[in-house]
Amino acid sequence: NAGVTQTPKFQVLKTGQSMTLQCAQDMNHEYMSWYRQDPGMGLRLIHYSVGAGITDQGEVPNGYNVSRSTTEDFPLRLLSAAPSQTSVYFCASSFDRRAGSPLHFGNGTRLTVT
Amino acid sequence: GIQVEQSPPDLILQEGANSTLRCNFSDSVNNLQWFHQNPWGQLINLFYIPSGTKQNGRLSATTVATERYSLLYISSSQTTDSGVYFCAVPHMRGTSGSRLTFGEGTQLTVNP
């Protein structure tokens, strides 16, 4: 049982490049989400999904796309990277979105856009 | 959405001391969670505590939902307790789901 797995751990992009951050969970969790964390700030929600085939925007969705084709995977796509997207990205999941259940985080991806 | 405020923003302790971290929120909630982010950046779920009191070793948490606050107690602190402590509540009143809004955290430093 690996929990929430994020890849890569580190990434450097040039402005305008695109890439996908991978997130997978093996706990059969219904709910998955992506947060970004910037220095001195808390975590801000980018996108979330309440089940396969269902996604929605969070607080800071611009410049990012997501899809949820399976229960296990929830990739985050940066369409055209900008320096403002330099951040640490966390994927999280929980079992039951309706009742509320503990949120489990991956170890993060540190992204630098030059 | 529901606003979350944590206090104090920074806390420095000597090893062995006790501490209390506070989380205030602006509306009724039925889901509150505490997290610890260690110096390596990992986020660990400490408590899922919509109401009442829970204990896990040297850590305990109490949520008084009617008064819109939660407290995290750390007793006999150790250097490994250092890091940032976040509380999080549902984004909107009446939702118990896992879309959470996070406070800005309390940075705890425990010195040997």
**B98 vs A31, A40, A44: nearest CB:** A31
| pLDDT averaged per 10 residues, chain B (length 112) | 94 97 92 94 94 96 95 97 95 70 95 96
Q: What is the 3-state secondary structure (H, E, C) of A5-69?
A: EEECCEEEECCCCCEEEEEEECCCCCEEEEEEECCCCCEEEEEEEEECCEEEECCCCCCEEECCC
Q: Which residue has tokens 């320096």?
A: A83
The pLDDT, as a whole number, for residue B28 is 84
Residue B87 CB partners (closer than 8 Å, separation 6+): B4, B6, B23, B25, B32, B33, B34, B35, B70, B72, B102, B103
Interface of A with B (CB under 8 A): 31, 33, 35, 40-45, 48, 50, 58, 88, 90, 92, 94, 96-105, 107-108
Spatial contact of A34 and A45, defined as CB atoms under 8 Å apart:
yes
* Chain B: closest CA distance from residue A17 (Å): 26
The pLDDT, as a whole number, for residue B94 is 66
The pLDDT, as a whole number, for residue A113 is 97
DSSP β-bridge partners for residue B43: B37
Q: What is the pLDDT of residues A46-104, one digit of tens each?
A: 999 989 999 999 999 999 999 999 999 999 999 999 999 999 999 999 987 665 688 99
Residue A91 CB partners (closer than 8 Å, separation 6+): A4, A6, A21, A23, A25, A32, A33, A34, A35, A74, A76, A105, A106
**What span, in angstroms and rounded, lies between the C-alpha atoms of B46 and B49?**
9
CB within 8 Å: A108 and B45: no
**A42 vs B97, B98, B102: nearest CB:** B102
